[in-house]
Structure 1
Amino acid sequence: MFRRTLLAAALACATSPALASEKKEAKVEVGQYVDLSPVALPIVVRGQLVNYVFVYVRINLTTGANSVKLREKEPYFRDALVRAGHRTPFTKADDYMVVDVGRLTSTLQREAVAIAGPGMVRSVVVTSQAPKRRTGVPTPRAAPGQS
């Protein structure tokens, strides 16, 4: 009986620092942001629509930005993303299941600054992507010089 009590006490002492460190890690400073509703962006290859990718985007704001006011402008951010995605699709040459994140973030960063004003937008982050079709999509052609 004494062994069980001693073992239980030892386990409780050993796990309590681990739990304390998990609690500290869970408290992460997120800052101000605007999450856009999911947007379906087209994947166009040689003039043909082959897929849509649903993109979830977060616009990170600076500390001096009025987040409540900018969250009211969420439809304008989303509209700018849809217009840019249809004007020149964010299609990757090597994968038709995802969008080109670099081009998307740089384009939306420019548009978000125009909508929110200078000094309000810190960064744009694509939080997740989900393709509409996972099968029946053509395979990307290999680049010249690759087999």
Structure 2
Amino acid sequence: MLRRPLILAAAALLAATSAAASGAPEKPSKEVGQYVDVSPVGLPIVVNGQLVNYVFVYVRINLTSGANPSKWREREPYFRDALVRAGHRTPFTLADDYQHIDAARLSATLSRDAAAITGPGVVKSVVVSSQAPRWRARSPRQQAAAKR
């Protein structure tokens, strides 16, 4: 009575094993893109020498088509370190918004620093994927309106 299900299971296992061993190339489940995602970094928002807020940024460094992404993903800590150093050296604070950073200035600065890490012809662009403020800090307009 148990022979028939056992024989069917063995036949199915044999067929699956022979298909896997036939050398048919397997498609990767996820294509690896030409980029390096930098771990989220909290950058300070400093106004008049006072820390007002932190904004957590998610940054993607896009690589050229000839670059080796796995090699540069191993160097992600170097990119993150360059971002932290640049953000504390001269904060990317916007004059009218304490909830966001100056993404254009951050991209330009990190592009320059990333090119110094990788060498020429590897970094295509730097994109700020998202920004998340730590606190709801009042903008200068809101502060002025509250004083009236």
Same fold (TM over 0.5): yes
Aligned residue number for residue 80 of structure 2: 78
Q: Please give the root-mean-square deviation of Cα atoms over the aligned residues, in Å.
A: 1.6
1:35 aligns with 2:37: yes
Q: How does 1:1-147 map to 2 (within 5 A)?
A: 31-134=33-136, 137-140=137-140
- TM-score normalised to structure 2 length: 0.72
Give structure 1 regions of 4+ aligned residues with deviation exceeding 6 angstroms.
none
Alignment deviations for residues 57-87 of structure 1 (CA, whole Å, 9 cap, x no partner): 0000001101111001100000000000000
Unpaired segments of 5 or more residues in structure 2? 1-30, 143-148
**Residues 50, 138 of structure 1: 8 Å contact kept:** no
State the AA in 2 paired with 1:94.
D
How far 1:139 moved relative to its partner? 2.5
Q: Which runs of 5+ in 1 are unaligned?
A: 1-28, 143-147
Q: Which has the larger radius of gyration?
A: 2
Aligned length: 112
- Shift of residue 132, structure 1, vs aligned partner: 0.2
TM-score of the aligned structures, taking structure 1 as reference length: 0.73
8 Å CA contact retained: 2:107, 2:126: yes
Shift of 1:140: 1.6
- Sequence identity, in percent? 74
**CA distance in structure 2 between the partners assigned to 1:140 and 1:37 by the alignment:** 30
Question: How far did residue 138 of structure 1 move?
Answer: 3.5
